[in-house]
């Protein structure tokens, strides 16, 4: 027999909705630990000092949380289960050249517009800062 318990103060939710919400927070915790440890360098500590290692681990967890939020809020549904390595090659490792032209700074990218369909949708979904 296997028992599973969730302690909560959300009294107005039914049990199925509560368990679904609980399970989708980070998927399963083992998968989150695997990504943090093996793909975001959380398993390779930089030195022998406890404080430095704790800060390193915190940065790895923050990077995981930012990537998860970006996938859920800004990227298309097919990238919801994308690992950090796939996101690096699809989005972050985009070659380009910064050019100063007519008092403007222009970023010239070496990929076609189809490759940036993820970016366009993401920029439209992200909240923009309010001008002061």
Question: Over 70: is that where the pLDDT of 2 sits?
Answer: yes
Inform me whether the pLDDT recorded for 27 exceeds 70.
no
Global pTM reads 0.62
Say if residue 130's pLDDT is above 60.
no
User: Cα angle vertex 94, ends 90, 100, to 5°?
Assistant: 155
Closest by CA position to 32, among listed 84, 74, 91: 84
Closest CA to 88 of 128, 35, 44: 35
The dihedral through the CA atoms of 36, 39, 42, 43 has a sign that is: positive
Tens digits of per-residue pLDDT, 86-115? 988 877 777 778 888 888 888 787 766 666
Please tell me the distance from the alpha carbon of residue 78 to that of residue 113, in angstroms, as a whole number: 18
| Weakest-pLDDT range from 42-51, 56-65, 66-75 | 66-75
pLDDT band with cut points at 50, 70 and 90 for residue 49: very high
Tell me the sheet residues that pair with 100. 105
Burial of 79 (0-12, 13-18, 19+ CB in 10 A): middle
How much of the chain exceeds pLDDT 90, in percent? 20
């Amino acid at each position: 027999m296997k028992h599973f318990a969730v302690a909560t103060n959300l009294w107005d939710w039914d049990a199925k909705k509560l368990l679904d919400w609980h399970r989708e927070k980070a998927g399963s915790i083992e998968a989150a630990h695997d990504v943090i440890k093996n793909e975001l360098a959380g398993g390779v500590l930089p030195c022998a000092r406890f404080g430095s290692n704790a800060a390193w681990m915190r940065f790895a967890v923050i990077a995981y949380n930012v990537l998860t939020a970006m996938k859920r809020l800004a990227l298309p549904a097919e990238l919801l289960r994308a690992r950090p390595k796939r996101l690096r090659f699809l989005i972050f490792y985009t070659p380009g050249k910064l050019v100063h032209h007519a008092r403007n700074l222009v970023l010239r990218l070496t990929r076609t517009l189809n490759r940036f369909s993820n970016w366009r949708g993401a920029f439209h979904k992200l909240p923009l800062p309010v001008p002061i």
